[in-house]
Amino acid sequence: MVDFGGWDMPVQYRGLIEEHMAVRTAVGLFDVSHMGDIQLRGPNSLAAVQRLLMNDASKLQTGQAHYSAMLYPNGTFVDDVVLHRLGDNDFLIVINAGTREKDVKWVRSVIGSMGGVHVMDVSDYYTQLAIQGPRAKETLQKLTKVDLTPIKNYWFTWGTVAGCHNVMIARTGYTAEDGFEIYIPADEPTSARVWGEVLEAGAEFGVQPCGLGARNTLRLEAAMALYGHEISETINVFEAGLGRYCKLEKGVDFVGREALVEVEKGGGPKRKLVGLEMVERGIGRDGYAVLSAAGERIGEITSGSPAPFLKKNIALAYVPAGYTEIGTEVGVEIRGQAVKAVVVPTPFYKRPKAAAQPVTAPLS
């Protein structure tokens, strides 16, 4: 067990590689209850969310979610979030564990005395379980009568799951696989029972309970950001390559917008997040220096690890603008030695497109 934002969490159950592979080829179950949840309700909740978050929440329909972030006025990250629209005037922001207190304070300070919106930290109400992998749908379907097939990626619905009523069932995740996240009542007997039922339902598909270790390697293969690594209070949206989730022209002056407009005017960020693949033997790790071909320190790895599915050693790193071209050769300093690496496209891993439905002849 390790301490993760105040939560005791297993790094692995059966073994990191086995768990990682289960998610890529079958199904894995994660306890992600450490994630926090902030609910904003009331007639001004959309206005509040629009001021608070960089993406355009007015585009969300009820039952839809998207990736977004809360920014400081200088365009760096308070946290990255997934915003769910529960109703016309009802939003749920899923936040990181380690930033929960800071986030809740931040939301309250930004929204301040704005009337018509009620902010609630509902983190302790839910146990959040993630069921991820190509067999995730079949696994979860055994525990609910809700037809999961029509739920699109980043949409959600409510239904009875494993005997719990009104469970939010979202087709979201942090693994680059198909999968669901369910929000069940947080009491321990219920959580433990549902955990057990998902494992039982997934047994025929080879389900594995997965720890923080696999959660990290899966998201790294997918080149998804992790707070405190790729994004933080010293890194802005454009440096992190998350501009596509940042809607400067949404018509609301969200916190951080002005600074980002200036960054754009100034010709874009001076450094950028890139994917690296080790060419020579060696594993670049978090915090290792990135070197130019001449051996000069130019940047730093934010996350680096062997990639269990890709069977390569990969990393995400910040490098100056002149080093971001695919194919650029760089070095990574490993125990005093420069080890060759190359800039590669991200994500490192993309899930294969679902096989087309078999074409059947019309009935008559």
Partner 1 sequence: MPYPEKYRYAKSHEWLNVDGDSATVGITDYAQDSLGDIVFVELPKVGQQLEAGSTFGSVESVKAVSDLYAPVSGTVTEVNESLNSAPETINAAANDTWLIRMTVTNPDEANALLSAADYEKFVSEETGH
Residues near partner 1, by CB under 8 A: 11-12, 15-17, 20, 213, 216-217, 281-283, 285, 305-306, 308, 313, 335
Supply the minimum distance, in Å, between the C-beta of residue 337 and partner 1: 10
Task: Give min distance, CB of 13 to partner 1, in A.
Answer: 11
Indicate the residue among 262 and 280 with the shorter CB distance to partner 1. 280
Q: Tokens standing for 40? A: 């904003």
The distance of closest approach from Cβ of residue 290 to partner 1 in the complex, given in angstroms and rounded to an integer, is: 17
Of the CA atoms within 13 Å of residue 84, those in its CB half-sphere come to 23
- Smallest gap, in angstroms, from Cβ of residue 220 to partner 1? 10
Which residue, 198 or 314, is less far from partner 1 as judged by CB? 314
* Closest to 241 measured CA to CA, from 223, 262, 261: 223
d(CA 281, CA 273): 23
Q: Rank residues 167 and 222 by Cβ distance to partner 1 and give the closer one.
A: 222
Phi and psi dihedrals of 174, rounded to 5?
A: -135, 35
Comparison of 55 and 216: residue with beta carbon closer to partner 1: 216
Residue 82 beta carbon to partner 1: minimum distance, rounded to whole angstroms: 25
Min dist CB 26 to partner 1, Å, is 18
Q: Measure the CA–CA gap between 287 and 363, rounded to whole angstroms.
A: 61
- Whole-angstrom Cα distance, residue 254 to residue 268? 19
Tell me the β-bridge partners of 31: 129
Contact 337, 326 (CB under 8 A): no
Specify whether the CB–CB gap between 349 and 309 falls below 8 A: yes
User: In angstroms, what is the minimal distance from the CB of 338 to partner 1?
Assistant: 15
Angle ∠(27,32,34) on CA atoms, nearest 5: 170
For partner 1, the closer CB: 12 or 324: 12
- Residue 92: how many other CB atoms lie within 10 Å: 23
Shortest distance, position 213 Cβ to partner 1, whole Å: 5
Q: Determine the Cα–Cα distance for residues 221 and 350; give it in Å rounded to an integer.
A: 8
Nearest to 336 by CA among 298, 295, 307: 295
15/43 with CB nearer partner 1: 15
**Secondary structure element (H or E) that encloses residue 255, with its range:** none
φ, ψ for residue 297 (rounded to 5)?
A: -70, 120
For tokens 């549902």, name the residue: 194
Instruction: Give the CB-side neighbour count of residue 327, counting CA atoms within 13 A.
Output: 0
